Structure 1
Amino acid sequence: MTGYSRRTKLQIERSQQMTNAIQPLEVPEFSVEYTPTKIEIHDYENLERAVQAYSHRYSDIVVTDDTESEAKDIRAKLNKLSNALDDRRKEIKKQYNEPYDAFANDIKALQATLAESINPLDTALKELTVHQRERRQKHVEELIIEMAPNYEVSPDDIEIDSKWLNKSTSKKAVTEGVAAAMKLIKAKRDKLDTDILTIEKYAKVQKVEPAGWVDQLKQGQDVEYLMKAIDNEVEQQTARKREQEAKAAEEALHQESKGNAIVDTNTGEVVSKSVTLKIVATIPQMNLLKSFMDSNGIKYMRVGA
Structure 2
Amino acid sequence: MANELSLPEYTIDYQLPVITINNFDQLKTAVEAYANKYQGMAVTASTEKESKSSRAELRKLKQALDDKRKEIRKKYAEPYQRFAAQIKDLEMTLDSSINPIDAGLKELEDQQRQLRLKHVNALIAEMAPNYHVEPGEVEIDPTWLNKTTTKKKVTEGIADVMGYIKKQHDDLEAGIKTITKYAQAYHIDPAGWIDQLKQGQDVNYLLQAIDNQVKLNKQKQQTLEAQAAEAQTHQIQQKGKTIDTNTGEVVSHSVSLKITATIPQMKLLRAFMDSNQIRYQRVGA
TM-score w.r.t. the length of structure 2 is 0.81
| Corresponding residue number in structure 2 for 1:143 | 123
Instruction: State the distance in 2 between where 1:147 and 1:204 align.
Output: 38
Q: Letter of the aligned partner of 2:170 in structure 1?
A: D
Match of 1:219 among 199, 208, 230: 199
Kindly indicate whether the alpha-carbon contact (under 8 Å) linking 1:256 and 1:263 is maintained by their aligned counterparts in 2. yes
| Corresponding residue number in structure 2 for 1:10 | none
Aligned CA distance change for structure 1 residues 237 and 24 (closer, same or farther; 3 Å)? farther
Q: Does 1:174 align with 2:159?
A: no
Residue-by-residue CA offset, 1:74-98 (whole Å, 9 max, x unaligned)? 4443333332222222222233333
Q: Letter of the aligned partner of 1:169 in structure 2?
A: T
- Structure with more relative contact order (C-alpha pairs < 8 Å, separation 6 or more): 2
Q: Does 1:273 align with 2:222?
A: no
The DSSP-based 3-state class of the residue aligned with 2:20 is: coil
| Corresponding residue number in structure 2 for 1:206 | 186
Match of 1:184 among 161, 164, 173: 164
Kindly indicate whether the alpha-carbon contact (under 8 Å) linking 2:187 and 2:267 is maintained by their aligned counterparts in 1. no
The DSSP-based 3-state class of the residue aligned with 2:10 is: coil
The Cα shift of 1:160 comes to: 1.7
Q: Letter of the aligned partner of 1:142 in structure 2?
A: A
| Corresponding residue number in structure 2 for 1:130 | 110
The Cα shift of 1:251 comes to: 3.7
The Cα shift of 1:258 comes to: 0.7
Instruction: State the distance in 2 between where 1:258 and 1:119 align.
Output: 99
Kindly indicate whether the alpha-carbon contact (under 8 Å) linking 2:243 and 2:249 is maintained by their aligned counterparts in 1. yes
What is the correspondence of 1:84-95 to structure 2 with a 5 Å cutoff?
A: 84-95=64-75
Q: Letter of the aligned partner of 1:116 in structure 2?
A: S
| Corresponding residue number in structure 2 for 1:97 | 77
Instruction: State the distance in 1 between where 2:4 and 2:266 align.
Output: 83
Instruction: State the distance in 2 between where 1:104 and 1:169 align.
Output: 43
Q: Letter of the aligned partner of 1:192 in structure 2?
A: L
Moved more, 103-112 or 232-241: 232-241
What is the correspondence of 1:253-272 to structure 2 with a 5 Å cutoff?
A: 253-272=233-252
The Cα shift of 1:209 comes to: 1.9
Aligned CA distance change for structure 1 residues 232 and 26 (closer, same or farther; 3 Å)? same
Instruction: State the distance in 2 between where 1:231 and 1:37 align.
Output: 88
The Cα shift of 1:286 comes to: 6.5
Match of 2:133 among 153, 160, 172: 153
Instruction: State the distance in 1 between where 2:226 and 2:52 align.
Output: 100
Q: What is the RMSD computed on CA atoms of the aligned residues?
A: 3.3
After the TM superposition, list the runs of 4 or more consecutive aligned residues in structure 1 that deviate by more than 6 angstroms.
278-286
Match of 1:118 among 94, 98, 104: 98
Q: Letter of the aligned partner of 2:18 in structure 1?
A: K
What is the correspondence of 1:17-36 to structure 2 with a 5 Å cutoff?
A: 20-21=1-2, 23=3, 28-36=8-16
Aligned CA distance change for structure 1 residues 286 and 164 (closer, same or farther; 3 Å)? farther
Identity of aligned residues (%): 54
How many residue pairs end up in the alignment?
A: 285
Instruction: State the distance in 2 between where 1:188 and 1:250 align.
Output: 52
Q: Letter of the aligned partner of 1:48 in structure 2?
A: K
Aligned CA distance change for structure 1 residues 89 and 216 (closer, same or farther; 3 Å)? closer
The DSSP-based 3-state class of the residue aligned with 1:257 is: strand
Q: Does 1:54 align with 2:38?
A: no
Residue-by-residue CA offset, 1:250-282 (whole Å, 9 max, x unaligned)? 443443211121223344343332234577889
Aligned CA distance change for structure 1 residues 155 and 194 (closer, same or farther; 3 Å)? same
| Corresponding residue number in structure 1 for 2:25 | 45
| Corresponding residue number in structure 2 for 1:16 | none
Question: Which 5+ residue runs of structure 1 have no aligned equivalent?
Answer: 1-19
| Corresponding residue number in structure 1 for 2:277 | 297
The Cα shift of 1:202 comes to: 2.9
Aligned CA distance change for structure 1 residues 37 and 156 (closer, same or farther; 3 Å)? closer
Instruction: State the distance in 2 between where 1:144 and 1:137 align.
Output: 10
Moved more, 211-220 or 227-236: 227-236
Q: Letter of the aligned partner of 2:156 in structure 1?
A: E
Kindly indicate whether the alpha-carbon contact (under 8 Å) linking 1:209 and 1:291 is maintained by their aligned counterparts in 2. no
